[in-house]
Amino acid sequence: MAMDVKSWATKFKNLTDNDETIQCMGKYYTCTFMFDMGEQKVIVEMHDGKVKNINTDPAPLDPYDFALRASSQTWREFGQPVPKPMFHGIWAASFRRDLKLEGNLLSMMQNLRNFTVQFELLRKCGVPV
């Protein structure tokens, strides 16, 4: 059963803001991205390695730099403590599964190390779908 998106956002924010790796390397980790999970979308706004805001009910024109779009089943696999092969990271899933990367991918690449660490926090907090 999926957790409430507001509860998920609080947990994801706390994990991010207290992650030693992100806090050590994230001084310039500033970008906004969308997790499109099918029936649930969230926009995460990062500023200097901290979560500034998580928009849990984005409108169609709410801005973001880049988006990760996949089915809710793919997101549930990402959120497992030990994901199955090809769900262990964004590159594997984009090559072999239904994950699509869209938007300003330069922004994603400039923040890739921190973004990857943050993405892997889904294994601790799960996903809201």
Of residues 76 and 92, more confidence is placed in 76
Q: What is the CATH number of the domain that holds 92?
A: 3.30.1050.10
Range of the domain at 113: 5-125
pLDDT averaged over the chain?
Answer: 95
What pTM did the predictor assign? 0.94
What are the pLDDT digits (tens) for 88-117?
889 988 887 799 999 999 999 999 999 999
* Domains: count for the chain: 1
pLDDT at 77: 94
Q: Which residue has the tokens 């262990």?
A: 88
Distance CA 80, CA 56 (A): 21
CB neighbourhood size of 75 (10 A): 25
For residue 1, pLDDT over 60 is answered with: no
